[in-house]
Amino acid sequence: MGTRPNFVKIAPVYSACSRRNLSQIIVHTGQHYDSKMSAVFFKELGLPNPDINLRVGAGTHAEQTANILLRFEKVIPKLRPDIVIVYGDVNSTIAAALVCAKLSVPVAHVEAGLRSFDRSMPEEINRLLTDQIADILFTTSVDANENLLREGISRNKIYFVGNVMIDTLLKFLPLTRKMQSNKYPAHYALVTLHRPSNVDNNVTLRNIFESLIRISHKLPIIFPVHLRTRQRIDCLSRLKNSRSLYLIKPQKYTEFLYLEKNATVVITDSGGVQEETTFLMKPCLTLRSNTERPITINIGTNILVGTDSRVLEQEIDAILAGKLKTGGIPPLWDGHAADRIADILMRYSK
C-alpha cells in the first residue's frame, strides 16, 4: 500500500486476516509520506506500523512507479510470500503487481474491475494493467465483474465481495456521534479536490475556485486542502478573504467522516468520497466528466457535474431548494467485505 485511500481499505482486511491467523507483512511504499497523510492514519485505523517502508516519496508517475519497482523487487525474494495483496489504482498498486508478475508471485487485487473508460487518467491505466496481472480479483459491484469478463478475465478469478471502504466507515461511524464542533456553521458544503485534471490546469482550477466563492455566499464551505492541491493554489490568499469559505488542513479519518456525515452536500473529485456519500445518502456533486464508480450514480446519490461552474451552481441551488437525489445502498456494502476476502484467501492458501 502507499496512499491514504489504501490505508482505509487495508485496515478491515488486515483485521479479518488476523482473526483467521493468516501471517501478514505490511509493505508501505511511501507514496504518501507526509505524517498527515500517512503515519496518523495507521494509528487511528488500528494498523501496526509497516514492517517495511520503501520510502519512495514524491515524483512523477514514472519516477514513483520505477522507484517502487526497483525497491520492491529486492524485498520479494527475502519475504517469499504466498500471495501479495494490492489495493485500489495508485502507482503503488501497479508497481507491486508488476514485480510479482515478473517473479511469479500470485497477486490479489482489492477493488478490481472499476473503469472510467478514460485512458487520460493515470489511474485507469493502473487499473487495467493490474487486473490483467492479478490472479484473484475482488470486486465491489456487479458492473466491475462485467468489465472484467468483457476484458477476457476468467470468471474463476473474479469474486464479488463488496466494498471494504464501507467496512471501515461502519466501524468508525459510531465514534462521530460523540463528536461536536462549534468551529463551523450548522449547514455547509464539504469540498475535496486533488485530481490532476482539476488542480494542474490553471484555467480549470481558477474556474472551480471562483465558483466555490460564489457558492460560499449561499452556503458556507469547509475545504480540507489536500497537500497536492495546496501546492498549486496560486489564489489561496484570495480565498482566505472569503469569510464563509473555511480552508483547513487534511483531516484524520474520523474527523473527515464527521464532516461528511453532517454536510448539506459534498463536492468532490475523489472516488472514495463518492462511495462514502452514497452509503451515507448524502448529496454528492462530482467535479469530473466520468467516474469509475457508476454505481454511485445508478444506485447512489452521486451526480457528475464536470467542471462547468454553471452546472455545479445549478445543482447547489436545486439542493438548497430541497430537490435532492434519493439513492440506495449497493449490494454487499454491508460491512463484511473484508471477511469475505479473508475467507477466500483461507481457501486459496489451502
The whole-angstrom separation of Cα 286 and Cα 191 is 10
* pLDDT, position 243: 79
* pLDDT, position 37: 55
Indicate the fold that domain 175-320 takes in CATH.
Rossmann fold (3.40.50)
* pLDDT, position 204: 85
184 pLDDT band, cuts 50/70/90, is confident
* pLDDT, position 34: 63
Examine the pLDDT at 180 and tell me if it is beyond 70. Answer: yes
Which of 194, 217, 226, 336 does the annotation list as catalytic? 194
Examine the pLDDT at 188 and tell me if it is beyond 90. Answer: yes
241 pLDDT band, cuts 50/70/90, is low
Q: Where are the domains of the chain?
A: 4-162+333-349, 175-320
Examine the pLDDT at 236 and tell me if it is beyond 90. Answer: no
Examine the pLDDT at 239 and tell me if it is beyond 90. Answer: no
What's the mean pLDDT when you consider all of the chain? Answer: 92
- Pick the range with the lowest mean pLDDT from 2-11, 102-111, 220-229, 233-242: 233-242
- Pick the range with the lowest mean pLDDT from 17-21, 197-201, 237-241, 289-293: 237-241
* pLDDT, position 20: 96
Decide if 3 contacts 64 (C-beta within 8 A): no
Q: pLDDT tens digits, residue range 37-68? A: 567 888 899 999 999 999 998 888 899 999 99
| CATH number assigned to the domain covering 4-162+333-349 | 3.40.50.2000
The answer for residues whose C-beta is within 8 angstroms of residue 177's C-beta and 6 or more apart is none
194 as an active site residue: the answer is: yes
Residue 263 — φ and ψ, nearest 5°?
A: -70, 150
* pLDDT, position 237: 53
Examine the pLDDT at 235 and tell me if it is beyond 60. Answer: no
* pLDDT, position 347: 92
- Pick the range with the lowest mean pLDDT from 111-115, 195-199, 277-281, 301-305: 195-199
Query: Mapped to the 3 state alphabet, what secondary structure does the chain carry?
Result: CCCHHHHHHHHHHHHHHHHCCCCCCCEECCCCCCCCCCHHHHHHHCCCCCCEECCCCCCCHHHHHHHHHHHHHHHHHHHCCCCEEEECCCHHHHHHHHHHHHCCCCEEEEEECCCCCCCCCHHHHHHHHHHHHCCEEEECCHHHHHHHHHCCCCHHHEEECCCHHHHHHHHHHHHHCCCCCCCCCCCCEEECCCCHHHHCCHHHHHHHHHHHHHHHCCCCEEEECCHHHHCCCCCHHHHHCCCCEEEECCCCHHHHHHHHHHCCEEEECCHHHHHHHHHHCCCEEECCCCCCCCHHHHCCCEEECCCCHHHHHHHHHHHHCCCCCCCCCCCCCCCCHHHHHHHHHHHHHC
* pLDDT, position 285: 98
pTM of the model: 0.94
Q: pLDDT tens digits, residue range 16-44? A: 999 999 999 999 998 776 655 567 888 89
Examine the pLDDT at 79 and tell me if it is beyond 90. Answer: yes
88 pLDDT band, cuts 50/70/90, is very high
Examine the pLDDT at 181 and tell me if it is beyond 90. Answer: no
Which among 165, 191, 119 is positioned nearest to 279, based on CA atoms?
A: 165
Task: Please report where in the chains the cell 477476457 appears, as a residue.
Answer: 152
Q: pLDDT tens digits, residue range 113-153? A: 999 999 999 999 999 999 999 999 999 999 999 999 999 99
